[in-house]
Amino acid sequence: MPQQRQQRNWSWSKPLFCRVIAAIALAAPLMPPVALRAATTQRIISDRFSGLAIDGFDPVSYFVDGKALLGLPDYEASQGGVVWRFRNEGNRASFLAHPEVYGPQFGGYDPTDVARGITVAGNPRFFAVVEDRLFLFSREESRDAFKADPARYLAKAEARWSALQEDLPQ
């Protein structure tokens, strides 16, 4: 009797289970990949599993090479409660001497969203270096809007950042 009851219960819930799995499968491509891994409850964006800041990209390479380059595990440093990776010892030394210059502004959160009063994790592949500062964006559209009028977004983002920071645990 218990085996028959189990089979009957499974046959009833099978269509519901299949619909839930189908809904998850359809929604997964719509979610940004960095947002799934990055924690948005901390002052500096980092991967919640590895502890790496900005997905392991070298923050100095944005300035030196003009592009996003992955850092190497041989050149790591801990700063600001997260682990940073670098392409070489020179980049590592430069960052440690001036993390406020080379680290992403607003902790790696998208400045266009910070200007709106919300924290959305930036993607290290969507970036801009403006006024010798690194900014990361959650989407290309945000980056393009920011680059068109950085002063407008920076004024609003800087005005709201301190209040947003208070809500982020250290």
Helix boundaries (H) for 28-88: 33-37, 61-64
Alpha-carbon distances of 98 from 51, 60, 92, 101, rounded to whole Å: 21, 10, 10, 5
**Domain edges within the chain:** 1-30, 33-166
State the amino acid at position 125 in one-letter form.
R
Q: What is the pLDDT of residue 25?
A: 52
91 CB-near residues (< 8 Å, 6+ apart): 58, 60, 61, 64, 71, 75
Q: Do the beta carbons of residue 85 and residue 73 sit within 8 Å?
A: yes
Burial level of 60, CB count in 10 A (0-12/13-18/19+)?
Answer: buried
Percent of the chain beyond pLDDT 90? 64
157 CB-near residues (< 8 Å, 6+ apart): 106, 111, 112, 114, 115
Q: What is the pLDDT of residue 45?
A: 84
pTM, whole model, 2 decimals? 0.74
E strand or H helix that includes residue 158: helix 150-166
Residue 124, CB-side half-sphere exposure with 13 Å CA sphere: 26
Q: Do the beta carbons of residue 69 and residue 81 sit within 8 Å?
A: no
SS3 30: helix
Closest of 129, 81, 125 to residue 104, by C-alpha:
129
Q: What is the pLDDT of residue 7?
A: 54
User: pLDDT digits over 55-87, tens only?
Assistant: 999 999 999 999 999 999 999 999 988 999 999
User: pLDDT digits over 123-140, tens only?
Assistant: 999 999 999 999 999 999
